[in-house]
C-alpha cells in the first residue's frame, strides 16, 4: 500500500535515457517537479496508513512496537531519497523522470524485508507488493515490467521455497480481526483508486487525442495556406489544379483557370510602402473569396500573381466571372489605404483542352495574361 500510490501518478513510459536538463523548457521541468512532489507526498500518506494498521497489530500483541516504528521510518527514509533526487533535478536527466524501476525495486525490497521481520502478518506486506504492480502496470513499459517482475520473483523465491517460517494474517482476537479488516479495506480502496485513475487517464487521453487531431488539422491548413493573404499557397493550389484536371478528364466536364495579376503592384509598393502593399494583397484575397463559388479554388501563385481554378465552367462563363471580379476590385475604395490609390487587375483565362497537362494549361493562361497586359491592363483576355 505504501508504494502502490507511488506509481499512481505515472511513471515514465520509456526506458531511462539521459538528456541534458538544460535542453528541456523551464515550464516542463517545473511541471515535472510538481508531479513528483504530489506523487511522493502520496507515498508518505500511504506509509502512515499502513503504519497505523501495524500499530493495531502491535496493540493486539501480535508484533512488537519496533515493527510499525521501523516500517514508517524506513518508508519515509526511502521516500526522502527520491525527494532529494527530485528537488536536485537529478530525475530530469532521464526520460523516465519518476525513476520507475528504482522506485519499484526499493519499495518491493522494503516490503519483503518486513515480511521476513514479521512473517506472522506477512500477508499485509504481500498485499502491498500486489498493489505496487497494480499501480505500476498503468505506466510501466513492458521492459520495466519484466525487470520488476524478475527482481520480485528473485526476492520471493527464497522466502517461500527455502524458508519454513509460516506467513500468516492472524485473526484470533477481535483486535487482530480489526487490523486484518483495515488491511483489506486499504487494499481494496487503493484498488478502486487504480480503477478511478485509469478511467481518468483514459478520458484524458481521449480528450488529448481530439486536441491533437485538431492541432494536426490546423498544422495541415497552415502548411497549405499563404501566410500573408490566407489563400492557398502555390504548392496547395497546384495540387488542387491537378485534382480538377483529373476530375474533368474523368467526367468530361469543363474546367477553366484564370491567372490574375494586380496591375502595377511594384509601383504601389514603391509609392505607398510594403506594409500598404501587403494590405492590398490581403484585401484583394478577401474580396475574391467573397465573390467566388464554394467549389472554386483560389491561391497565390507568386508575388502579386494569383491562380483561380473554376470547375465546371467553360471559357465564356469563366471570362464573365473574371470580368465581374475585375469590376468589383476596381470599384473598391482603395483611398482608405492612401489618398488617390487605385488598384486594378488583369487576368488570362483558359479552358482545359482534351489530354492537356497542367503545364500547357497554365502556359496558355499565362499567354492570355500577357495579352491582357499588352492591351493596357485592367482587362480580361481569353486564351
Return the active site residues: 304
How far apart CA 377 and CA 383 sit, in angstroms, is 16
What are the cell numbers at 360? 500547357
- The C-alpha angle with vertex 236 and arms to 231 and 242, in degrees rounded to 5, equals 125
Contacts of 111 (CB under 8 A, 6+ apart): 2, 3, 125, 126, 128, 129, 132
How far apart CA 203 and CA 321 sit, in angstroms, is 51
- The C-alpha angle with vertex 114 and arms to 110 and 116, in degrees rounded to 5, equals 120
Beta bridge partners of 256: 310, 351
How far apart CA 249 and CA 237 sit, in angstroms, is 18
Residue with cell 532521464: 94
Q: Is the dihedral of CA 7, 13, 19, 20 positive or negative?
A: negative
Q: Is 119 exposed, middle or buried (0-12, 13-18, 19+ CB in 10 A)?
A: middle
Amino acid at each position: 500500500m505504501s508504494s502502490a500510490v507511488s506509481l499512481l501518478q505515472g511513471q515514465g513510459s520509456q526506458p531511462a535515457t539521459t538528456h541534458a536538463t538544460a535542453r528541456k523548457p523551464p515550464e516542463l521541468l517545473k511541471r515535472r517537479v510538481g508531479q513528483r512532489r504530489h506523487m511522493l507526498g502520496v507515498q508518505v500518506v500511504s506509509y502512515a496508513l499502513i503504519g497505523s494498521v501495524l500499530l493495531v497489530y502491535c496493540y493486539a500483541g501480535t508484533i512488537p512496537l519496533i515493527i510499525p516504528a521501523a516500517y514508517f521510518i524506513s518508508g519515509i527514509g526511502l521516500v526522502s531519497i527520491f525527494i532529494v533526487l527530485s528537488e536536485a533535478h537529478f530525475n530530469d536527466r532521464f526520460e523516465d523522470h519518476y525513476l520507475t524501476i528504482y522506485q519499484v525495486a526499493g519499495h518491493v525490497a522494503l516490503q519483503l524485508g518486513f515480511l521476513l521481520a514479521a512473517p506472522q502478518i506477512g500477508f499485509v506486506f504481500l498485499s502491498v507488493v500486489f498493489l505496487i504492480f497494480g499501480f505500476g502496470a498503468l505506466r510501466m513499459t513492458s521492459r520495466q515490467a519484466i525487470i520488476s517482475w524478475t527482481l520480485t520473483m528473485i526476492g520471493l523465491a527464497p522466502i517461500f521455497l527455502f524458508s519454513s517460517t509460516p506467513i500468516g494474517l492472524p485473526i484470533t482476537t477481535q483486535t487482530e480481526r480489526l487490523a486484518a479488516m483495515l488491511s483489506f479495506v486499504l487494499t481494496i480502496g487503493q484498488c478502486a483508486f487504480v480503477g478511478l485513475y485509469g478511467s481518468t487517464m483514459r478520458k484524458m487521453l481521449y480528450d488529448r487525442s481530439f486536441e491533437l487531431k485538431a492541432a494536426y488539422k490546423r498544422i495541415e491548413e497552415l502548411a497549405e495556406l499563404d501566410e500573408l493573404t490566407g489563400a492557398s499557397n502555390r504548392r496547395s493550389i497546384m495540387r488542387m489544379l491537378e485534382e480538377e484536371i483529373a476530375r474533368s478528364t474523368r467526367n468530361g466536364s469543363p474546367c477553366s483557370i484564370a491567372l490574375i495579376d494586380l496591375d502595377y503592384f511594384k509601383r504601389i509598393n514603391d509609392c505607398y510602402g510594403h506594409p500598404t502593399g501587403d494590405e492590398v494583397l490581403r484585401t484583394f484575397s478577401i474580396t475574391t473569396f467573397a465573390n467566388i463559388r464554394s467549389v472554386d479554388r483560389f491561391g497565390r501563385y507568386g508575388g502579386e500573381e494569383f491562380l483561380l481554378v473554376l470547375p465546371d465552367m467553360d471559357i465564356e462563363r469563366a471570362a464573365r466571372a473574371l470580368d465581374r471580379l475585375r469590376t468589383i476590385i476596381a470599384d473598391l475604395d482603395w483611398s482608405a489605404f492612401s489618398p488617390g490609390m487605385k488598384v486594378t487587375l488583369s487576368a488570362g483565362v483558359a479552358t482545359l483542352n482534351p489530354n492537356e497537362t497542367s503545364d500547357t494549361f497554365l502556359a496558355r493562361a499565362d499567354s492570355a495574361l500577357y495579352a491582357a497586359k499588352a492591351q493596357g491592363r485592367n482587362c480580361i483576355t481569353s486564351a
